[in-house]
Amino acid sequence: MFIVDSYFTAIVFCFITMLCWGSWANTQKLAGKSWRFELFYWDYVIGIVLFSILSALTLGSNGSEGRSFAADLAQSDSSNIISAIIGGVVFNAANILFSAAIAIAGMAVAFPVGIGLALILGVIVNYLGAEKGNPYILFLGVLFVMAAIIVNAVAYKKTNQAAQKVSSKGLLLSLAAGLLMSFFYRFIAAAMDLENFQQPAAGKMTPYTAVFVFSIGILLSNFIFNTILMKKPFEGTPVSYADYFKGKLSVHMVGILGGLIWGLGNSLNLIAAGKAGPAISYGLGQGATMIAALWGVFIWKEFKNSPKGTDRLIASMFLFFVVGLGLIIYAGTA
């Protein structure tokens, strides 16, 4: 299988993760013009599963290092399989709430608040699970990210004074999603031997196997979580499976593309975790907040016609994010 052998390559992979995790929601915005997010979400999950299979059968099965996907899956302990599945279930619950927040509040808000909170808590959880990197520099970087989140919330409040009810719902969903999102990565990381991808401990999984099992957890839980949401949506009227099958192929493909993009980022992030450590790898990946905010501000114009002074707040938010991410990267070398 393919294995990352340098910290620099791991950081590059984390930046690709950042781009992927910060960009997949554009497909939801595109599909949302004519397609409810509950229906979009089925295609998104299918895309995640498809990428996990593709990754496992290509990069995870070729090469001279490590165990191939089939051999690795066959020897995995049930406890590690369950851990990765739980990670998928937790992620799915969080991501459904997060997708609802995007639909209600927009990318420029849902990402900084929800994923920003997930970054802060997730870095703490993952560092405690595997202490890799300078903790002082790492958590200083996290504090800068926290400052960026606060500034973004202030900018959003200034822009949406006339829509407080919707704003409150979007913010609450973002916070709930971020709280749950901070824990999913630890369950996947616990199922892998992060210290030795070349010769993983017996019963532990390689990143490719863990990603596949994780995606199965997402798919299985979606039959429960998303079915409930289809019947009792946060906004709008209920939708049915019949509505899903009435969708055009082009609309379904947009959702699948979103899942493929997120799946690529997830796979590269876990592959990088062996060299960078789970806290740094996860933290950089969740820098997706900045990428999504760029999309929300400059492409989707979510802060259009905002009051005077909002531009300075947005610029400060990006500055805090850049400094915070830089410190997180440096923490792995200090």
pLDDT digits (tens, 9 = 90+) for 137-196: 999 998 998 888 788 777 877 776 544 444 578 888 989 999 999 999 999 999 999 989
Stretch 292-297: mean pLDDT, rounded? 79
Residue at 237 is within a domain: yes
Please count the structural domains in the chain: 1
Look at phi and psi of residue 306 and say left if phi exceeds 0, alpha if psi is from -120 to 50, else beta: beta
User: Which residues have CB under 8 Å from 178's CB, separation 6+?
Assistant: 94, 98, 113, 114, 115, 116, 117, 118, 121
**What is d(CA 304, CA 125) in angstroms, rounded to the nearest whole number?**
37
Which residues form the domain of 296?
7-331
Confidence of residue 119 (pLDDT cuts 50, 70, 90): confident
Can you tell me whether residue 200 is helix, strand or coil? coil
Residue 271 falls within a domain, yes or no? yes
Q: Tell me the mean pLDDT in the region 118-134.
A: 90
306 or 48: whose pLDDT is higher? 48
Report the C-alpha gap between 288 and 19 in whole angstroms.
6
- Residue closest to 289 by CA, chosen among 164, 36, 79, 118: 118
Query: Do the domain assignments include residue 2?
Result: no
Q: How many CB atoms lie within 10 A of CB 195?
A: 11
For residues 235-262, give the mean pLDDT: 95
Assigned domain for 79 exists: yes
**Model confidence at 304: pLDDT above 60:** yes
Q: What is the pLDDT of residue 162?
A: 44
Report the alpha-carbon distance of residue 49 to residue 35 in Å, rounded. 21
- Percent residues over pLDDT 90 in the chain: 62
Let me know: does 6 contact 187? Beta carbons within 8 Å. no
Grade residue 108 by pLDDT with cuts at 50, 70 and 90. Answer: low
